[in-house]
């Protein structure tokens, strides 16, 4: 028997003034997108902004439904819209943040497993890394180099070939 240790690296910005401009700008777009969430059931508003390789930014927010499973997270709303609009353009980065009106979020929001898998697909498709920027309403900002860092041992198309 042997043990494998999983390691992933994340840049932590405790001071938001130290964020590179491209990151703070993308985060501001995710913050704005969160205000457009449709979240009448959870009241938890999530915003995502995808930086595309052609300079465009596509945003999304969570969209809930009275039939709960019909709703969709902000990350997939943004990623699917981005891919539907620009099917041949790689994603360079995604910024994700949330507003919790009941208890303001003082730590970075964490994308769910399904969204990590969905984002990983685009990283694989274009064979390029996508930075993942995570923030709460206050507190540190996390910057991961790639989706793969957030989802090790991922299932991908390679297993089926
Ligand atoms: N949600 C997201 O949009 N993204 C996440 O990463 C976590 C959760 C949404 C789904 C639902 O509308 C609400 O937040 C509460 O789970």
Q: What is the pTM of this model?
A: 0.97
Going 93 to 68 to 112 to 34, the CA torsion angle's sign is positive
pLDDT at 61: 98
Nearest Cα residue to atom 10 of ligand 1: 73
123 lines ligand 1 (CB under 6 A): no
pLDDT less than 70: residues of the chain: none
pLDDT at 119: 98
74 lines ligand 1 (CB under 6 A): yes
Q: Are 143 and 131 in contact (CB under 8 A)?
A: yes
Nearest Cα residue to atom 14 of ligand 1: 44
Pocket test for ligand 1, best of 36, 43, 45, 46 (most atoms within 8 A of CB): 46
Strands 91-99 and 141-144: unpaired
According to CATH, the topology of domain 11-152 is Cytidine Deaminase; domain 2 (3.40.140)
* Cα–Cα distance list, 148 to 36, 41, 44, 46, 56 (Å): 28, 31, 26, 21, 23
Q: Where are the domains of the chain?
A: 11-152
Whether 18 is catalytic: no
98 lines ligand 1 (CB under 6 A): no
For 55-96, the pLDDT digits (tens) are 999 999 999 999 999 999 999 999 999 999 999 999 999 999
Radius of gyration of the chain (CA): 16
């Amino acid at each position: 028997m042997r043990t494998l240790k999983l390691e992933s690296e994340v840049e932590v910005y405790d001071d938001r003034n130290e964020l590179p401009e491209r990151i703070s700008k993308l985060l501001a777009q995710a913050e704005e997108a969160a205000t457009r969430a449709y979240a009448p059931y959870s009241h938890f508003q999530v915003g995502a902004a995808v930086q595309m390789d052609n300079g465009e930014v596509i945003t999304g927010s969570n969209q809930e439904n009275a039939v709960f499973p019909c709703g969709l997270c902000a990350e997939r709303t943004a990623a699917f819209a981005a891919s539907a609009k620009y099917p041949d353009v790689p994603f360079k980065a995604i910024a994700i943040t949330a507003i919790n009106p009941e208890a303001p979020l003082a730590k970075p929001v964490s994308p769910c497993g399904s969204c990590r898998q969905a984002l990983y697909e685009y990283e694989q498709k274009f064979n390029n890394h996508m930075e993942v920027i995570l923030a709460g309403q206050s507190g540190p900002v996390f910057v991961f180099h790639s989706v793969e860092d957030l989802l090790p041992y991922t299932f991908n198309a390679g297993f089926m070939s």
